[in-house]
A = this chain, B = another copy of it.
Amino acid sequence: MISVVLLGAGNVATHLYQAFSKAKNANLVQWYNRSLQSIESYKNQVSITDELHQIVEADVYIIAVSDDAVKSLSSSLPFENRLVVHTSGSVGIHDLDKKHRRGVFYPLQTFSKTSELDFKDVPICIETLEKEDFNLLANLAETVGSPYYKINTEQRQTLHLSAVFVNNFTNQLYRVAHEISDAKSIDFDILKPLIMETAKKVQHMSPYTAQTGPAKRNDKKTIKKHLKLLEREDHKAIYELLTNVIKKTHGR
């Protein structure tokens, strides 16, 4: 049984709370937040506090606060030589105060307050300075059913960047499609199965192999037709840039 103290009350912290409270081999002994208000509704399920000096002993302390606050919170903790990890994709492991045993427990997923997530779909990227701490965090990932990976700081920052491409930028392409189809009174629902299928395809096929369409074929007639159809300059710019990158990728 791994005992855990959770620090912070944002999206990641809340999802970790949900996951740990269901886990058989993890025991969430305390939830800290600088303001009690955001976690008060959980007070019958878990011990809560807003006082650093009241934090109890545990196998691991998980700091799930905004990137800018990780460093100072880790320094403010009134103990040392315990395992303290953060959950950020971009903060370095050495940003944690060196009085602690340090680690990173980065869940690579998009979290929203409203929708529930099965943690089997939340890969955990683990980094530690000591091998035994890695094993503890790997066991902790297993208690919530998550796959886990050994990822160093540079790799983690690269993953955080890759996530911007597959999540934020991809979502913006969905948005552009929404704008384009809205302008012609087309129900966006028509595009939803294609969005799902596109994501599904690369679960068992490389994106390189999965590529299709006018840019890959260098079908100049269709490309020209599409550019003519596009009314907004920003849409045109995206179309041109991505068409050129696909052509280059596939040797056209």
Interface residues in chain A, defined as those with a beta carbon under 8 Å from any beta carbon in chain B: 67, 90, 108-110, 112, 115, 117, 121-123, 125, 147, 149, 151, 154-155, 157-159, 161-178, 180-181, 183-203, 206-208, 210-216, 222, 225-226, 229-230, 234, 237-239, 241-242, 245-246, 248-249
6 nearest CB pairs, A to B: A168-B213, A199-B199, A174-B207, A175-B207, A162-B177, A121-B193
- Other-chain contact of A237, B171, B208, B241 (Cβ < 8 Å): B241
- Decide if B158 touches A242 in the complex (CB within 8 Å): no
Roughly how many angstroms separate A234 CA and B222 CA in the complex, as a whole number? 23
- Decide if B215 touches A246 in the complex (CB within 8 Å): no
- Decide if B194 touches A181 in the complex (CB within 8 Å): no
Roughly how many angstroms separate A121 CA and B169 CA in the complex, as a whole number? 24
If A169-B242, A181-B158, A181-B159 touch, whether A248 touches B234 (CB-CB below 8 Å) is yes
- Decide if B193 touches A122 in the complex (CB within 8 Å): yes
Chain B residues near A248: list those with CB within 8 A. 234
> DSSP class of A's interface residues: helix, strand, loop or mixed?
helix
Roughly how many angstroms separate A177 CA and B164 CA in the complex, as a whole number? 9
A137 nearest CB across to chain B (Å) = 16
Chain B residues near A171: list those with CB within 8 A. 198, 201-202, 207, 210-212
* Interface CB pairs A-B, < 8 A, 7: A109-B197, A147-B189, A155-B186, A158-B186, A161-B229, A165-B176, A166-B174
A3 nearest CB across to chain B (Å) = 27
